[in-house]
């Protein structure tokens, strides 16, 4: 236990010696509080190691303490331990070393459910529907999906031995597959749609994604597109500089895209476009939704403030906080919130105020009374404090809970598996369509598998019964309770019937995955999407685009004194 008594004291002593470096940031009271609390922490930690009934695990104790401390700040300030470095690398680069496939456990068997184009998995016959039997001679039947995934991942250039039963085969094969750097599948997907409209979907802002988007625009322009849709729905953000470079594709050189303000002057920074643009004139629409966050909001907010694009969809998430990653000892990192970002008009779109919490610890939204108005370059009114509000609002259709349940239990995949077993080919994705008879076969499969949907309401009733069963009042309402409970049980058939059109689409997507893999699914979804269709309609009307980007309305809130335009 020498480490506990000596090493901790050493680090505490070194930290206290370094405190004069902080004089620029803290007054005497702050320094006293820091020193006092570090001494208390050291004393607690030391006494746990010396006296606790069971020998504690040092690493786990410290990790728990660090996580609890950071959780009290905001969800984006995180400690990244040595074991989490690979996941962090994947989030920032979109790269990992592996074979390029996704796994799911279905009926206690492990199947490949998705493969990436040009991946080692696909090249070695590991297609959707292939059953994994072992990895490096290790039986995986009792391992979780995450554990098997970790076995398959490794350093690029090394090999992994996988025993599997190929789809449409009964004979196991064993292959040594060389791991490669795998790029997050289809981070940038692009195609041409109706009326020569280009379409680009960006999944996340990882390294070099702006360059990939630029290449996509160049390819689409070679095919004479007349307008462009940039889809940032469900894009959680990522690297700030990638967002700035993406905006630069459509905005002239030396224009401010975003600026940041932090607690210290070091983070009072302005970020401007650095290069000549690719195209400043092509009619442009950006689609966002409630899951578009951070870098996605920088792009949408900048293009809206500069009146360069029509923003379509639903209000974005509202993450206006900037994180910086600091290297720590022993290959660990600290990702810490250091500033807020502001769009060119001067607005911050942060929706939650993490410094303000109610008595239950719930974070409060920026109050309506503090929301203020700003102007875009053309004088249009926009607001801060609640994400990016689209110029054209669309209503997102929330998936029924029964559909999510069917998907989670892999019923769509199971039907697609048996469908693909019987057919070697199907029409191209945008032409493929199931018949009513096919959909009915799926519904019959659910009956055969004795599928039962337990709704949230049903579960709440069960909880009520459990807590009230011994109460006299329950006996008085028992009959009404049972009638209500039985009524909920009968609702399954009605829900399935009501959601038949969406069930059909889910089945088609899963079947297409067996033949055309991920890109096939993208192609199918793009041609079905109502918000994309609305963008095409808007961009095809030059007068409408101009009207949207120049429309002046009276503000509903007072103007902010810091507005830029």
Task: Locate the domains of the chain by residue range.
Answer: 2-56, 95-183, 188-396+542-550, 401-537
Residue 328 φ/ψ, nearest 5 degrees: -115, 170
Domain 95-183: CATH architecture, name and number where available: Roll (2.30)
Burial (0-12, 13-18, 19+ Cβ within 10 Å), 533: middle
- Measured from the Cβ of residue 212, the count of other Cβ atoms closer than 10 Å reads 20
Helix (H, G, I), strand (E, B) or coil at 159: strand
Helix (H, G, I), strand (E, B) or coil at 558: coil
Name the catalytic one among 294, 314, 316, 345: 294
Give the H or E element holding residue 175: strand 173-178
Distance of CA 253 to the CA centre of its chain: 31
Reply yes or no on domain 188-396+542-550 having CATH 3.40.190.10: no
Q: Is 305 annotated in the active site? A: yes
The reply to whether domains 95-183 and 188-396+542-550 share a CATH topology is no
Distance from C-alpha of 301 to C-alpha of 283, rounded to nearest angstrom: 17
3-state percent breakdown (helix, strand, coil) of the chain, nearest 5: 45, 20, 35
Name the catalytic one among 74, 231, 305, 391: 305
β-pairing verdict for 227-231 and 256-262:
unpaired
Residue 562 φ/ψ, nearest 5 degrees: -95, 10
Q: Is 294 annotated in the active site? A: yes
In this predicted structure, what is the pLDDT of residue 95?
64
Give the H or E element holding residue 11: helix 8-18
Tens digits of pLDDT across the chain (565 residues) = 444 445 555 544 444 444 454 545 556 677 888 888 888 988 988 898 889 999 888 888 888 999 999 998 999 999 988 878 777 776 766 667 789 899 999 999 999 999 988 899 999 999 999 999 999 999 999 999 999 998 998 888 999 999 999 999 999 999 999 998 877 656 899 999 999 999 999 999 998 999 999 999 999 999 999 999 999 999 999 999 999 999 999 999 999 999 999 988 888 999 999 999 999 999 999 999 999 999 999 999 999 999 999 999 999 999 999 898 999 888 899 999 999 999 999 999 898 888 777 777 788 787 777 889 999 999 999 999 889 999 999 987 778 889 999 999 999 999 999 999 999 999 999 999 999 999 999 999 998 988 888 776 666 766 666 666 666 666 667 677 666 666 666 678 888 989 999 999 999 999 999 999 988 999 999 999 999 999 999 999 999 999 999 988 888 888 887 778 8
Name the catalytic one among 319, 335, 375, 521: 319
């Amino acid at each position: 236990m020498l480490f506990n008594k000596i090493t901790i004291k050493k680090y505490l002593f070194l930290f206290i010696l370094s405190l004069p470096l902080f004089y620029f940031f803290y007054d005497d009271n702050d320094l006293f509080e820091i020193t006092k609390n570090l001494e208390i922490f050291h004393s607690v930690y030391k006494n746990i190691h010396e006296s606790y009934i069971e020998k504690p695990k040092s690493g786990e104790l410290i990790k728990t303490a660090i996580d609890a401390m950071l959780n009290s700040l905001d969800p984006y300030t995180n400690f990244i331990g040595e074991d989490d470095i690979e996941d962090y690398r994947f989030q920032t680069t979109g790269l990992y070393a592996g074979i390029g496939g996704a796994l799911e456990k279905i009926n206690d068997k492990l199947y490949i459910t998705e493969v990436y184009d040009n991946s080692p998995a696909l090249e070695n016959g590991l297609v959707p529907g292939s059953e994994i039997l072992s990895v490096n001679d290790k039986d995986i039947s009792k391992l979780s999906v995450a554990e098997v995934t970790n076995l398959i991942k490794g350093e690029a250039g090394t090999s992994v031995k996988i025993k599997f039963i190929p789809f449409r085969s009964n004979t196991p094969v064993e292959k040594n597959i060389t791991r490669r750097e795998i790029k997050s599948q289809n981070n940038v997907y692009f195609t041409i749609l109706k009326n020569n409209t280009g379409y680009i979907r960006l999944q996340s802002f990882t390294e070099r994604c702006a360059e990939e988007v630029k290449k996509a625009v160049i390819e689409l322009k070679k095919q004479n597109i007349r307008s462009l849709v940039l889809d940032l729905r469900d894009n959680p953000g990522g690297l700030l500089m990638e967002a700035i470079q993406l905006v630069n594709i459509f905005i002239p050189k030396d224009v401010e895209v975003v600026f940041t303000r932090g607690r210290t002057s070091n983070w009072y920074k302005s970020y401007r476009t650095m290069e000549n643009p690719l195209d400043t004139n092509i009619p442009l629409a950006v689609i966002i939704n409630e899951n578009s966050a951070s870098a996605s909001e920088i792009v949408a907010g900048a293009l809206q403030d500069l009146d360069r694009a029509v923003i379509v969809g639903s209000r974005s998430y509202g993450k206006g906080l900037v994180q910086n990653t600091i290297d720590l000892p022993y290959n660990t990192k600290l990702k810490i919130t250091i500033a807020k970002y502001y769009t060119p008009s001067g607005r911050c779109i942060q929706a939650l105020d993490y410094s303000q919490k109610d008595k239950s610890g719930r974070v409060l939204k920026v109050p309506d009374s503090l929301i203020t108005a700003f102007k875009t370059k053309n004088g249009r009114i926009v607001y801060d404090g609640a994400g990016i509000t689209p110029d054209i609002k669309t209503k997102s259709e929330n998936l029924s809970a029964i559909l999510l349940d069917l998907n989670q239990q892999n019923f769509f995949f199971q039907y697609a598996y048996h469908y693909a077993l019987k057919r070697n080919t199907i029409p191209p994705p945008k032409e493929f369509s199931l018949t009513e008879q096919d959909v009915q076969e799926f519904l019959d499969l659910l009956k055969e598998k004795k599928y039962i949907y337990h709704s949230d309401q049903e579960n709440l009733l069960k909880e009520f019964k459990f807590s009230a069963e011994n109460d006299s009042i329950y006996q008085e309402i028992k009959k009404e309770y049972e009638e209500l409970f039985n009524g909920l049980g009968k609702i399954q058939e009605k829900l399935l019937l009501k959601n038949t059109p969406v069930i059909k689409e889910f089945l088609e997507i899963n079947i297409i995955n067996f033949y055309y893999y991920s890109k096939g699914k993208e192609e199918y979804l793009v041609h079905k999407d109502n918000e994309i269709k609305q963008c095409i309609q808007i961009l095809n009307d030059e007068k409408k685009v101009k009207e949207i980007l120049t429309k002046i309305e009276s503000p509903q809130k007072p103007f902010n004194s810091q507005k830029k335009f």
